[in-house]
Amino acid sequence: MNERQDRVPAGPAQAENEVPTLVITKDDLAAGKYNEMTEIKFAGNVEFAAGLGRVKVKSLVVSGYVRAEAGSGIEAGSGIEAGGSI
């Protein structure tokens, strides 16, 4: 199981109340960091960069939002569940 919980893009220090965001990029996919056997569990937001096409992971659990930029997509094999709206 390949579980990624700690990767946050480099940048300025986050404000105390700011939610961390995991950004999945083309370089991440090329390096094999995420694939259909990956379980992503992240305490924050997850964004898929533009132009990735369909990204398959085994599961995706986040406490914030999930965003797929233009040219990227999310597919649910057995459904999508949300505490708020989709």
> Hey, which bits of 7-71 come out as E strands?
21-24, 38-42, 45-48, 53-54, 59-62, 66-68
pTM for this structure?
Answer: 0.74
Walk along the chain (86 residues) in steps of 10 and give the mean pLDDT of each run: 51 69 96 91 95 90 92 76 67
Please tell me the distance from the alpha carbon of residue 66 to that of residue 46, in angstroms, as a whole number.
5
Per-residue confidence (pLDDT) for residue 74, from 0 to 100 = 77
Per-residue confidence (pLDDT) for residue 17, from 0 to 100 = 74
